[in-house]
Each structure stands twice: as C-alpha cells, then as structure tokens.
Amino acid sequence: MIAEAGHYALALALALALVQSIVPVIGARLGDPRLMGVAASTSIGQFAFVLFAFGVLTTAYVVSDFSVVNVYENSHSAKPLIYKITGVWGNHEGSMLLWVLILALFSALVAIFGTNLPLVLRSLVLAVQGWIASAFYLFILFTSNPFLRIADPPIEGRDLNPVLQDIGLAVHPPLLYLGYVGFSVSFSFAIAALIEGRIGAAWARWVRPWTLLAWVFLTLGIAMGSYWAYYELGWGGWWFWDPVENASLMPWLAGTALLHSAVVMEKRNALKVWTILLAILTFSLSLLGTFLVRSGVLTSVHTFASDPTRGVFILAILCVFIGGSLALYAWRAPSLTQGGLFAPISREGALVLNNLLLTTACATVFVGTLYPLVLETLTSEKISVGAPFFNLTFGPLFVPLLLAVPFGPLLAWKRGDLLAAAQRLMFAGLCALLALALLMAWTGAGAVLAPLAIALAVFVIVGAMSDLIEKTGALRLAPQISLRRAAGLPRSTWGTAFAHAGLGVALLGIVCETTWNSERIAAIKPGDVVAVAGYQVKLENVVQRQGPNYREQVARFSILRDGQPIATLSPSKRAFSARGSSTTEAALLTRGLSQLYISLGDQSADGSISVRLYYKPLVVLIWFGAVMMAFGGLLSLSDRRLRVGAPKPARPARSLQPAE
Amino acid sequence: MTRKQRRLVLIGSALTVLAIAAALVLNALRDSIVFFSTPSMAAEKSIPPGQRFRLGGLVQAGSLERGKQLQVKFVVTDGNASLPVMFTGILPDLFREGQGVISEGALDAAGVFKADTVLAKHDETYMPKDVADALKKQGHWKDESAQQQNAAGAKAATSVR
C-alpha cells in the first residue's frame, strides 16, 4: 500500500503544481491578490507531497521492499543502511525524484522567505517554478515512475552499482542538484521580470542571494564529485573532461558570470538585459546537463539506464523551456530600460570582462561537449573530444581572466584608475615574480609553463589579500585600528577575497599536481619494495576478507621514508557477488597537502600483484581551493545587505522602475 | 567618451574575445579529436600508422596474453576483422575476454595497435555504446537485455535456494 501512497502523493503534487502554474498568472493579470496568494500555499503543499513521496521511496529502500521494481533493481538486503538510503538516488527514477524534491524545496523557500517581495513578482516567480515542476512531474509519472510494483516479488535485490556504494553518493548528487535546481529560482525571477516588463535594482537584490546559494552548492558538488572520482575510479585523475563533468561545469561557469553581473545590476543598475539572459542561460545549461546525463545519449558512470522515450521527453522539456524563454526574451527584453553609464576601465568594465571570458570559456566547453553528438547525428562518424581539446581552448581563455581577477575589486565604480590599481597590486606582482624566479632556478630551464602558471596563482592569491590589506590598513596602521576596520568590513568584501584566493589556491594545486606527479606501475610480490618520490612502499601481505555484500582482496603496504616506517596503507579490490562486478578501493596517505595514492590491479598466475602508485604533490589544494570559493560565497551570503529576506533600505530610488 | 564610443569598445572587445575563442576551438578540433573505429572500419579506412584513434570491439576469447612487466596482448574483434592490441599497465576492473572494450592509441608499422588507454564497460549490464552501435550495424549484436532478464531471474532463483 505504502508505495501506492507515494505514487498518489506525486500525482497530487502534480495537480498542485498545475494550479500553481495557472492561477497566480491569472491573478497577476487581473490584479487579484487572492488569486496571486494561491501560489505560496500551493508551493508549500507541493513540497509536503513530494517530501512524502520521497520518504515513501526511502522507506521502501530501508526495509528492502523488493516488490517495488526500483528497489529490486538497485538494492540488496545485505547492503549497509547508509547505502540503502543513498541508493534511493543512485538510479534514474530516484534521482529524478530527488530533482523535483529539491525544486519543490526551493519553491517553498521562495514562498516562505519571499513575503516582502512585491506580490505580483512573487506569484509570477512561483508560477514559473510551477511550470518547471509540472513538466518534471509529468516526466516522472509517465516515463520514470519509481513506485512500480513487480507482480511476483523476488526474495533478493540486484544490488546497487558497486562504484556507487560509497559515501560520495550521499554527498555529491544532493549538493549538485541543490546547485543545478537552485538556478531555477534565478530563471523564474528572470521570466517573471520579462512577463511583468519591469526590472530594477531591487530585482537584482533578490536574485543575487538565490544565485549565490545555488552557486555555493554547485561549487561544493563539483568539487566533491571530482574527489570521489579521484579516489574511487582508481586512475588517480580528478578531472577527465568527461561530458557529464562538463555538463556540471557549464552551469557553474554561466552561474559565476551571473553572480558577477548581478552585482553590477544591483549596485549600478546597469547590464539588466544581459543579467536576464545569463539567468536564462544558466538554468538552460542546468537543464541541458540533466538531459545529457539522464537521456542516455552519453555513456558514463552517471548514466543509469537508457530508454529512448525518456530522452525524447527530456528533449521536449528542454526545447519548450529553453526555446520558450529565449523567445520571450527576444520579444520583451527590448522594452526594458537601459542602465547606467560606465567607462571601460571601471569596476563595471572589469565585471563585463569577467562575464565575457567566462561565457566564452563556457561556450568552448559547450562546443567540445556537444560537437561529437552533433557530428554523429549528421555524419554517423564517431569521435571523442578529450582533455587536449579543452586544454587548448579553455586554458588560454582562463589565463587573461585570472590575470584580471585581482584588478576587479580594486577598481572604482563608474570610472576606475588602472594605474592606481596596478600600484596597489605591486606587492602581489613582486611575489609572483619572486615565485617565478625561484621556480625557474629550481627546475632549471626545463618547464616554463608550470612556473608561469604558479606565478599566476601566487598573483591571484596575494592580489586577493592585497585588497583586504588595503582596506583594513594592516601593516600601515596600528593593529587595533586595522582589527576594528577588519571587523567593520562588509562580509561580502571578505567573501570576494576568499573566493578569489580560492581560485588561485585551486590553480596552484592543479599545476603542481599535473606537473610534478610521479607514477609507478609495477607487478610485485609480498616483501618487494617500490620507490616513488622518496617514499619506499613495501608490500607486506595480501589477504582475503569478507565484507557485508562483497569479498575483498586487501594488500597491506608499509610506507617508509628514509628507512623509517611512517604508515600502513591497505588498498583493496572488491568483488560484488550480486552484480558480478568489482571495484578498486584506492588507499590514500595525506602528508601535508600532498598525497600518496595506491591502487591495485590484477593478481597474475605467479602470485605477483600489479599496483599503481602515485605521488601527487599539493593535490589537496585543488579541492581546498574549491571549498574556499564556496566559503567565500557563504560569507558573502551572510552579508546583512544580501541576507535572504533582509529588509530593504528606505531608498525609494531603488524601487522597481516601470518599463518605457 | 560618448555612449556610442563606449558601446563600440564593448562590442569590439567582445568580438575580439569571441574571435580568439573561435580560432582556438577550430585549431583544437583539427588537431585533438580522436575518431572511433572498429577493426573492420580501421581496415577499410586504412588508417596510417601513428594516427591516434579509438578502437572498439570485443576482446576475442582466449586471446589475452600477459607478458612480463605488466605487458598485455589481446585481440579486438568485431566478427569480420580483428586487430592485435599491445598495452602496458593495469587493465580496468571490468576487462574480460568476450566482452566489449575501447582502447585508445595508434597503429605501429607492423600493424599492431599500441594502446595507451584501455576502457572497459562500467558494469555487467552495460556495453560501451559506440561498440554496441558498431556491432549492431555489422549484425553481430545479440540482444543482451533478454539474456539479462534471464540472468536476473536465475540470480533471484539461486538466492531463493
């Protein structure tokens, strides 16, 4: 019965979403506050129903109810409880349910925290959320129903794909979806503004926190996914330019651009039309990502199952929403008012440059990701576009962006002084040059690219800190005064500094890891020692162990440095009987910011086992940098001026401006 | 500067960035994309030695030979033609004889495919899509989903015991 209750709740949520899609729009047209008020209650009710449906599916997983097809196909009674729960979204149907759950959550949040939004804007925003939700409920109910039953229930399930039986599944998809779906709010705001034909600084003030929130989650989700792939796939790589990874990178790039253009719009009331377009594009790329991953046109670990009807359905959703919103944009955008003026060298100018480079970089990723699909459709020639393509296109576009990052916050609004900014960045420049000289001396004439890239990273990090030093007067004023100044700085200034420095930190990690990582592959027997990057790795023994739903072969290694044992590592290979497949569990030793990485290969007939050893200098910085960026975003979000639902300052000039 | 001049600066810089990006993309597309072939397609197109491509097909049963120092030799076949593949390193977890595989590398002068990357399917129910399509086209496709249903039924049955 319970599964049917979940199914029914989902159908009721669809009914509420349909009401939410239509009634508030009519209300806004007629100016009837009662009809517009329907939006808030339906979106909260909708969330309650989806939450119930999600709870039902989770229960079915926890109690291993194999009469539900979805549970039978993706669960096993011997699976640890945590993977029973995370297994809910470790498959197509469940992950779509998570998608709509998060969508309904965001709508409910807008309904709850948006009480001081203008009523017309709020009801239109919620109506657009209702359109998206209706489309996805229909998709789930017609093509991906997670509550289907089996007539003759089996005793045991087929287990979850072993690669997904990891704590990463508990963290990565929810974070990523919070990011993807979070952008739906800025999309809905953009569409609402276009329908209403009004847009102003207050609009940007509302959109920015929501965008920032989604961006923080997406940043963490991508970083977490990258770390998960790094330790789970056993190849020691952390980014493969896999189409599915690109599908999450594109909304991130567009979302980062949106974040910055919304600043210009809020502070200077300029770039309105562009900000609206970015909001549409960002969510469209999120939808495209969902399409690429869920339709089965791509093959990867993320594609759980392919079913052509699903692909066609998502493609239809994609066309309606992207095509419809762009058509609406083309129709209504010219009626929006022009914004304020600014000189090319100014904070606005720097942010425009940021937007230009980010969107162009995003476009190159888009081309690299979709070109193989288009070419295959047109000529049935199959190609793969890999890392070399992206290194050649994405890299050169990011270098000028990184160079410009420290300048942005130092330029004044409206008209900036590049020379003064350059003077203030003198110290950062000197640090970068020093780093370059030291590295060139250390590496010899060999690689020039790596020292240059590291100097760039140093420039970005020190440049981000220069802004703080400048504003607090540290090194210049008495410590008490600068401390007081630091406490008085707006949190968004701290957020900017953290996010920008995080970018530099991540770059530092990326460059060091790719340039100086050492790899050894060897076939060894117990007692053999392999040396890698100054560490001696000794294979002690190989034992078999029984886990809850797998058998594993564990190799125990002693790690020695200068003959002294410092740690033991136990990588393993797990064989999962239910699916007849196996996974490689790499073992990691973190020393400072660097990692030693061991993964196992096959055992050959003579008893030797093949192992892959990596030493990855400063690799931790890659994810640490991403976490710093997300932390900067959170700091900025906690800024009083931006806090979701914070009262507006009493400045009538900032209120909505009518379209002309 | 007037509004018009400012707009010109903006449009000019946008076009410059776009032009640079387009040049980069075209250049990269010419040099760094990799084509996919099955052994018979490779024979048909007579790919010159040294040109990188992705070779997809089934690992011929009984063809896997392990040399010393992690050297591996196997034969990739699509039913009509086959190619010997040499690889040094660790094969992926799901590499099996008789199963689908994709390897990336280039032919050497002797016509042996020197692979530097070997990718296998992700789990037992999944076949690399490129390989499946190519095999379907050449009529060597056995409908796996029917077999899976049976296998699943068998598994369920064994666990009943």
A286-336 confidence digits (pLDDT tens):
999 888 877 666 654 454 445 667 778 888 888 999 999 999 999 988 877
Question: Does residue A647 register a pLDDT over 50?
Answer: no
Q: Kindly report the nearest CA distance between residue B120 and chain A, in angstroms.
A: 11
Chain B residues whose beta carbon lies within 8 Å of the beta carbon of residue A363: 21
pLDDT band per the 50, 70, 90 thresholds, residue B132: low
pLDDT band per the 50, 70, 90 thresholds, residue A123: very high
- A–B: how many Cβ contacts below 8 A? 131
What mean pLDDT is predicted for residues B91-110?
83
Share of chain A above pLDDT 70, in %: 94
Q: Kindly report the nearest CA distance between residue A55 and chain B, in angstroms.
A: 27
- Strand order through the sheet with A587-591: A518-524, A609-616, A594-603, A587-591
pLDDT of residue A448: 83
The whole-angstrom separation of Cα A263 and Cα A416 is 16
Are B36 and A384 inside 8 Å of each other by CB? yes
Give the total residue count for chain B.
Answer: 161
Share of chain A above pLDDT 90, in %: 55
Chain A residues whose beta carbon lies within 8 Å of the beta carbon of residue B156: 154-156
Per-residue CA distances from A223 to A202, A501, A597, B52 (Å)? 32, 16, 19, 31
The two most distant CA atoms of chain A are separated, in Å, by 82
Tell me, letter by letter, the H, E, C secondary structure of A449-467.
Answer: HHHHHHHHHHHHHHHHHHH
pLDDT band per the 50, 70, 90 thresholds, residue A6: very high
Write down the number of H helices and E strands in chain B: 4, 7
Question: Does residue B40 register a pLDDT over 90?
Answer: no
C-alpha of A378 from chain center: 31
Chain A residues whose beta carbon lies within 8 Å of the beta carbon of residue B14: 356
What mean pLDDT is predicted for residues A571-585?
84
pLDDT of residue A651: 45
Give the mean pLDDT of chain A. 88
Determine which of A184-193, A298-307, A403-412 has the lowest per-residue pLDDT on average: A298-307
Chain B residues whose beta carbon lies within 8 Å of the beta carbon of residue A162: 123
* Six token digits for residue A239: 């980014």
- The string of pLDDT tens digits covering residues A579-593 is 777 888 899 999 999
Closest CA to A153 of A70, A53, A86, A79: A70
Question: Does residue A162 register a pLDDT over 90?
Answer: no
Are B69 and A523 inside 8 Å of each other by CB? yes
Are B93 and A156 inside 8 Å of each other by CB? no
pLDDT of residue B3: 72
Question: Does residue A233 register a pLDDT over 70?
Answer: yes
Are B32 and A388 inside 8 Å of each other by CB? yes
Determine which of A81-90, A341-350, A512-521 has the lowest per-residue pLDDT on average: A341-350
Give the mean pLDDT of chain B. 75
CB proximity list for A374: less than 8 A, separation 6 or greater: none
Closest CA to A72 of B89, B149, B49: B149
Kindly write down the DSSP assignment for every residue of A7-25, as one continuous string.
HHHHHHHHHHHHHHHHHHH
The whole-angstrom separation of Cα A466 and Cα A476 is 12
Q: Kindly report the nearest CA distance between residue A277 and chain B, in angstroms.
A: 16
Are A580 and B3 inside 8 Å of each other by CB? no
Are A581 and B129 inside 8 Å of each other by CB? no
The residue among A52 and A346 whose pLDDT is bigger is A52
Kindly write down the DSSP assignment for every residue of A310-367, as one continuous string.
HHHHHHHHHIIIIIHHHHHHHHHGGGSPP-----SSSHHHHHHHHHHHHHHHHHHHHH
What is this model's ipTM? 0.74
Determine which of B87-96, B108-117, B144-153 has the lowest per-residue pLDDT on average: B144-153
Closest CA to A502 of A616, A610, A612, A621: A621
Q: In this structure, is the dihedral angle defined by the CA atoms of residues A313, A317, A323 and A327, taken in order, positive or negative?
A: positive
Question: Does residue A615 register a pLDDT over 80?
Answer: yes
> Which residue among B24, B88, B122 sits closest to A392, beta carbon to beta carbon?
B24
Residue with tokens 């229930």: A153
> Which residue among A158, A353, A392 sits closest to B27, beta carbon to beta carbon?
A392
Are B155 and A156 inside 8 Å of each other by CB? yes
pLDDT band per the 50, 70, 90 thresholds, residue A85: very high
pLDDT of residue A642: 54
What mean pLDDT is predicted for residues A187-203?
88
pLDDT of residue B140: 53
The C-alpha R_g of chain B, in whole angstroms, comes to: 23
Are A382 and B10 inside 8 Å of each other by CB? no
- The string of pLDDT tens digits covering residues A59-84 is 999 999 999 999 998 899 988 999 99
> Which residue among A299, A360, A383 sits closest to B33, beta carbon to beta carbon?
A383
Determine which of A41-50, A231-240, A283-292 has the lowest per-residue pLDDT on average: A231-240
pLDDT of residue A301: 44
Amino acid sitting at position A293:
V
> Which residue among A299, A344, A581 sits closest to B124, beta carbon to beta carbon?
A581
Q: Which residue of B has its CA nearest to A520?
A: B89
Are B13 and A163 inside 8 Å of each other by CB? no
> Which residue among B9, B28, B89 sits closest to A389, beta carbon to beta carbon?
B28
Determine which of A6-15, A49-58, A558-567, B93-102 has the lowest per-residue pLDDT on average: B93-102
CB-based contact A517:A616 (threshold 8 Å): yes
* Six token digits for residue B146: 């029917």
- The string of pLDDT tens digits covering residues B23-38 is 888 888 887 788 888 8
β-pairing, B33-37 with B53-59? parallel
pLDDT of residue A107: 96
Q: Kindly report the nearest CA distance between residue A631 and chain B, in angstroms.
A: 31
Interface test with A, best of B26, B70, B138 (most A CBs within 10 A): B70
Determine which of A430-439, B71-80, B114-123 has the lowest per-residue pLDDT on average: B114-123
> Which residue among B29, B36, B90 sits closest to A389, beta carbon to beta carbon?
B29
Are B29 and A382 inside 8 Å of each other by CB? no
Q: Which residue of B has its CA nearest to A578?
A: B155
Are B9 and A156 inside 8 Å of each other by CB? no
pLDDT of residue A649: 46
Q: Which residue of B has its CA nearest to A383?
A: B35
Are B21 and A371 inside 8 Å of each other by CB? no
- pTM (predicted TM-score): 0.89
CB-based contact A271:A352 (threshold 8 Å): yes
Are B36 and A344 inside 8 Å of each other by CB? no
pLDDT of residue B67: 79
Q: Kindly report the nearest CA distance between residue B1 and chain A, in angstroms.
A: 8
pLDDT of residue A652: 43
Q: Is A149 helix (H, G, I), strand (E, B) or coil?
A: strand
Are A581 and B89 inside 8 Å of each other by CB? no
pLDDT band per the 50, 70, 90 thresholds, residue B153: very low
